[in-house]
Structure 1
Amino acid sequence: MENLECPQCGNALANGVAVCGACGKEVQNKEVKDNESALPPQEKGPGRKNLYAILAVLLVVLGGAALLIFTGLLPNPLKGGGSTAAIVNGEKISTAEVDQKFDLYRKMSGKSGQPDSTPEAKAAAAGLRMQILNALIQEKILVTEAAKEKITVPPQEVADRIAAIKKSMNISDADFEAFLKNHGMAPANFEKRIEKDLRISKLVAKGTQEKGLTRDAWLAELFKRAKVEILAK
């Protein structure tokens, strides 16, 4: 198995990872490029800009906002077991949710159904699960903070964002719905995902402006005061 490193920070990466878990930068490794070349004609689009649009949609499907701002500030080892993966500020994240994201990512990276038979593959799978759990934890922190700050997103803003995504992909409504279906998400759930990501973006913008901090500094402060207990196996 080829050893991969983030070109930005040198962090070790599992095959198929599109965003570095340490620095949050986009990674274009060989497997991601291979997957891009395997897209059907209507999803390839006219060029590099279209590929970035597709990647953005896939990140939304996975839980884009949390993955994009992932900073590695919660390096707790996975342990224990049961139906709850973590408790964040009193709210639970289920192991089923982690499993669902993990399976979806495997499907997107072309590894669905492939057994993790080697020690390297098992280590890579465990690392990916940790990255997904940390992303879900950070997202939970941000979502609960957005609710506390009473941040909302008008339906029209969500509709405009989705329209912009479709335009950037140069894709029809029917083909876009088929694209989502192929990656395990219904249009209604995609709308909810977009609404959540927009709320998080507004929260980060509000927090950094009010505190006079950079995004990374504000996130570090927010995550530091969060009450997090990791229980997952």
Structure 2
Amino acid sequence: MPEFKLPFKLYIDASGDGLGAALHQVQIINDKPVEGPICFISRQIKPTEARYGASQMQCLCLVWALEKLNYFLEGCVFEVITDCTAVKSLLNMKTANRNMLRWQIAIQEYRGNMNIVHKDGNVHKNADGLSRWPLPNDINNPAYVREEASPQIPIEGISVTDLNTTFFEEVRNSHTQDKNFSILCQLLNKDCKDYSLIHALDEVWKKSYDERRFHLLDDITYHRTKHTCVMTVVDRS
């Protein structure tokens, strides 16, 4: 059984056949630290995922594993072990790739509790085996992800707005001139929680921070709800 006060270890791996993840924990047994398994999950990749490159597949594996193992990991300290350098840099990666950017935003809620480390593949053969011989991606698999059909949405108009770098610089500068934004940026840049800063936030800001709704990308804050993630700006009114 897991001890939620102790850190977890999450081993992840992806192959051309599937995704695999092994959740471990080091517990004290007979006065000795012993690492043992808590949970194993795997699934075959979907047809739409077969087009992904190796780095994208590994990043997808992390996002999928975090979603499926959220019961164990939410609010806990844990280490992710991967043999892919792209996964290690995903939290702070500057990318124009739509999927990578979406996954980057999705894992921001674990910032401060999650440490991603790169190790050679031979240290986590557990996840490697799971990805090479995965369970079918069907409803009998607890780690199942439904294949969603692409909706046929008619496009009746397109509006394009060109935002130059000056706009983003103004947003960043405005953050430094507002108490709550300034504190928030400091908190989101830290690898651990600073409770003195958290308590300095106004109550409505503190509530959203505690719910992990704020994320920081390129020194600009974003606020996430169930279906949206929008840039936050200082109210000058």
TM-score tier by shorter-chain length is under 0.3
User: Quick check: which one's strand share is greater?
Assistant: 2
Q: Which has the higher contact order (CA 8 A, sep 6+)?
A: 1
Larger Rg: 2
TM-score, with normalisation over the residues of structure 2? 0.24
**Bigger fraction of residues in helix:** 1
**TM superposition score normalised by structure 1:** 0.25
